[in-house]
Amino acid sequence: MTTARHTRQLAAVLEVVGDADDHPTAEDVYTRVRCRLPRVSLGTVYRNLQKLVAQQRLRVVQLPHRAARYDSMLQPHDHFLCERCGTLTDWVREDRPQLDSSALDQAGYLVHAHSLTLYGVCPDCRAAAPHRGVGRDRRRHR
């Protein structure tokens, strides 16, 4: 039987993501964990993030063309990604319409989970440049 061990590295990874309010990437987590445990390796960070996600103690948000982001908010929610600055925002819908998948259910599909992400421009970026530049100059952050 597999006995999960409690290591400093695992604890640090969990705590770093828990304390973060910015949906850090694996690299971000690595950097922050390093402040405490200067000898951790990126591989270990990845392994522990993976483990914590599997244990449902953390969530991953996979994004097209970007590194995965980690999230300690466990309550069901979705995300908004600002295409200009790359900031990822939690979006908790109180009216979460239960996502009527009955058509799929009836067709014999078994739905375990889903992911919904919105893309657009955040308030800060709109304020900074309301008329989005014609030239393509995205991909600035991370």
Partner DNA sequence: CTTTCTGCAAACTCTTTGCACTCGT
Partner DNA sequence: ACGAGTGCAAAGAGTTTGCAGAAAG
Instruction: Tell me which residue of 83, 71, 69, 68 sits closest to 118, measured CA to CA.
Output: 83
Under rule CB under 8 A, which residues in 30-69 are in contact with its own copies? 60, 62-65, 68
Under rule CB under 7 A, which residues in 42-81 are in contact with DNA? 42-44, 46-48, 50, 65-68
Min dist CB 46 to its own copies, Å, is 13
Q: For 73-105, what is the HEC assignment? A: CCCCCEEEEECCCCCEEEECCCCCCCCCCHHHH
Distance in angstroms (rounded) separating the CA atoms of residues 120 and 78? 14
Which listed option, DNA, its own copies, none, makes contact with residue 50 (CB within 5 to 8 Å by class)? DNA
Under rule CB under 8 A, which residues in 102-131 are in contact with its own copies? 103-104, 107-123, 126
